[in-house]
Structure 1
Amino acid sequence: MELDAVERETPGGVPSEGAVRVLHVTECWGGGVASAVHAYIEATPGHDHWLLMARDAADPLLDQESLLRGLRVFADGHLARIRDVAAAYREIRPDVVHAHSSYAGFYVRSCPQVPGERIVYTPHCYAFERTDVGRPLRYGFRLAEALLAPRTGVVAAVSPREAELAARIRAGQRVVYVPNAVPRIPAEQGVRERSGATPGIPAEPGSTGTPAERGTPERSKLVAVTVGRICAQKDPAFLAAAARAGDASTRWVWIGDGDPALRRVLRDAGVVVTGWLPRDEVLAMIRTADVYVHTASWEGAPVSVLEAAGAGLPVVARDIPALRSLGVPDLVATPAECARAVRDLRDDRRREDARLRLADVLAGHTPRLQAARLARAYALALGAA
């Protein structure tokens, strides 16, 4: 069966001799998965990269990324997507099929045409780690992982926590820890002036007039930002509760959009919600902030935390197993602790100390190490290591 999808060739050059042809598969293009796949492609420019995704998202990098050789788009429906994997494998003939996320792992490993030993699987957080579903469904997710584990050539885990879970699921499972890399986000001249308005960050809900007319210069407030889809995983209610527990000295900003009901929860707590923005605007807003706040209730290895570190921000993050395994400092357990930790960072010395602690912990998260670990994962899948 041919792909019930579109094909778009990209302007990628002819792969070099000895290059590995990789088919990346994901049903959840966007956010951290998209950032991770782009990083993998950039880390291994000598390989021949293809992408099978759920929809042609509004991602300019898909058009501009010269290292991506081609794109396929999934049809709707689980069975149709398994057939699409088979068609893509038959047409592209990849050396390695790299599945990103639990559902993509299900589609690829359920496709008998793809040899199990050639499958590299990156869960980007196992589905059974979800806290928004009941225990029976989480057990079902874990059972599915156990049943599909024999069809997994290599697990390319994004955190020590994910690597540990992979080893538990199947004894003898080949696992390579492929860390997400801290990007270099240079500061722009003059963006962090505390005496003026914050570039790119809209006014607080209900505010009118100029900052001077309101009596308090907006940049005199500490700006705490978070980035991502407004959804159950990111737990916007936790951030809303932190904003309520805080005081008027902090502006809370959510960069992104999502569930309308959860967006109202944020806005009712006084959190500024920007909506979806181009990536360059997101990075510019991160650079103007004072602290990055991460409140997700489950994660793999959040790229947004690494981007904040790359921009030189301290991070106040929720205490969850994935972040604990990464060694992220200053984790908090409750919204009240979050509000208190953010408020403490009004002190310049504390903010600098927190930034340096985070940078020290993430110092090894380099593109060079990521490329080396990814190369090892692909070599294991090809039987060359």
Structure 2
Amino acid sequence: MTIIHVMEPFASGITTAVINIIEELQDFEHIVIHGSRTSDNSIETVQKRFNPNTKFILWKTVGREINLKNDIKAFFELQSYLKDHKDAIVHLHSSKAGFLGRIACWSLGIKKVIYTPHCGSFLRTDVSYTKRLFFRTLEKIASFFGGLVVGCGKSEGELYKNLGRNTTYVNNGTNTSYKVDMSKKKMQIVFAGIINTQKNPAMFNEIAKILKDTNDAQFIWVGDGELKYYLTSKNILVTGWLPKQKVDEYLIGSSIYLSTSNWEGLPFGVIEAMNAGCALVLHDVPGNRDLVINGENGYLFKNADEAVNILNKLLKNKEIVDKMGLKSIEIVKNNYSRKQMGEGYKNIYLTI
């Protein structure tokens, strides 16, 4: 059985999700059709993260933003790749692939189509209300062309079900083989990811700056990006892009994971932090809400002042923070393992 994964960005959590699915389902043939947008050094660098049996096709004309001329080109290019695989299962990842891919599959008579939004475009807060409404309308239009929507978590599944779509969900998952020594964790605050509008570095910096005056807390942003200039507080270390092993070392060595994200699907960064035994302090947005049991493995906050109050309390009590970190590990093993992710998608692939 052949699974064709179609994705516009070749980066971020979408890439991690596809890598994890392929690793867990090696009995299937996997073809990845991907765009050229990546936060890595090169497309080849990203491809090396995949199982060596994976086949790749570069989707040359696709881009993130809506551009009628380019999107028409991208549609016909994708259609040309899919026409020789009418018996395959097509798994569309992200909004652009979901829209163009469902129409392309419908036009070719491909029936076995799955769409995982990985955080729909209509959740973006960096665009106007009118544009979000437009994105929502595009989702509704695309749904008439078929396909099963499979959210990457409970919140995403519910959001699409509220649009009246045929929807289920499979939780994102990670490899749960970490061994964490809580006694070696430092009382420092970490985040891992790209420094962009979605991840809201301005709020992260605001929180760090307030705590610099009231607490001796060290903040670490593992990653890089075009909005790095927001992270000016003296108590923030920005590491730049690191190999996964080094990222894991920062997560395992830190006690608290702080996410100020403006919107999320079901963030791998948070799941991996839970797996590393971090207590969570997360901005109260869809996706993040799925991962926190308030007061047990962390807290949600609505603004910077709430986050500061939570962090001030946690930084004074390592015993409570460690207890929350152990609860995070338990939750990941029970609900967000790579194995359960693979099994969930396998069941869908075999029954769609």
Classify the TM-score, shorter chain: 0.7 to 0.9
What is the TM-score with the length of structure 2 in the denominator?
0.86
Q: Which of 233, 253, 258 is matched with 2:225 structurally?
A: 258
TM superposition shift of 1:185: 5.0
1:51 matched to 2:51: no
| Structure-1 residue corresponding to 2:302 | 333
| Structure-1 residue corresponding to 2:136 | 142
Alignment RMSD (CA, Å): 2.4
| Structure-1 residue corresponding to 2:64 | none
**Distance in 2 of aligned mates of 1:80 and 1:41:** 28
**Distance in 2 of aligned mates of 1:358 and 1:235:** 23
Q: Which of 180, 205, 209 is matched with 2:172 structurally?
A: 180
**Distance in 2 of aligned mates of 1:177 and 1:327:** 18
**Distance in 1 of aligned mates of 2:26 and 2:247:** 26
Change (3 A) 1:338 1:94: farther
Residues 8-48 of structure 1 show CA distances to partners (whole Å, capped at 9, x for unaligned) of: xxxxxxxxxxxx20110111121211111111111211111
Say how many residue pairs are matched: 331
| Structure-2 residue corresponding to 1:164 | 158
The amino acid of 2:343's aligned partner reads A
**What percentage of residue pairs aligned between the two structures are identical?**
25
Residues 195-237 of structure 1 show CA distances to partners (whole Å, capped at 9, x for unaligned) of: xxxxxxxxxxxxxxxxxxxxxxxxxxx3211111111111111
Q: Please give the secondary structure, in 1, of the residue aligned with 2:48.
A: helix
| Structure-1 residue corresponding to 2:116 | 122
Change (3 A) 1:141 1:68: farther
Counterpart mapping for 1:101-120 below 5 A = 101-111=94-104, 112-115=106-109, 117-120=111-114
The answer (yes or no) to whether the contact 1:116–1:152 under 8 Å persists in 2 is no
1:352 matched to 2:322: yes
| Structure-1 residue corresponding to 2:8 | 27
The answer (yes or no) to whether the contact 1:225–1:291 under 8 Å persists in 2 is yes
**Distance in 1 of aligned mates of 2:111 and 2:292:** 32
**Distance in 1 of aligned mates of 2:293 and 2:46:** 29
Query: What are the ranges of 5 or more consecutive residues in structure 2 without an aligned counterpart?
Result: 62-69
The amino acid of 1:353's aligned partner reads K
What is the TM-score with the length of structure 1 in the denominator?
0.79
Change (3 A) 1:231 1:64: closer
Larger radius of gyration: 1
**Distance in 2 of aligned mates of 1:29 and 1:85:** 16
Residues 123-163 of structure 1 show CA distances to partners (whole Å, capped at 9, x for unaligned) of: 00111011111110000000000011122321111111111
Residues 82-136 of structure 1 show CA distances to partners (whole Å, capped at 9, x for unaligned) of: 1221121124455111111001112202324443632100000111011111110
**Distance in 1 of aligned mates of 2:182 and 2:163:** 50
The answer (yes or no) to whether the contact 1:23–1:94 under 8 Å persists in 2 is no
Query: What are the ranges of 5 or more consecutive residues in structure 1 without an aligned counterpart?
Result: 1-19, 195-221
Residues 219-264 of structure 1 show CA distances to partners (whole Å, capped at 9, x for unaligned) of: xxx32111111111111111111101213411111111111xx311
| Structure-2 residue corresponding to 1:284 | 249
| Structure-1 residue corresponding to 2:195 | 230
The answer (yes or no) to whether the contact 1:160–1:326 under 8 Å persists in 2 is no
Residues 60-90 of structure 1 show CA distances to partners (whole Å, capped at 9, x for unaligned) of: 4623633543101111332222122112112
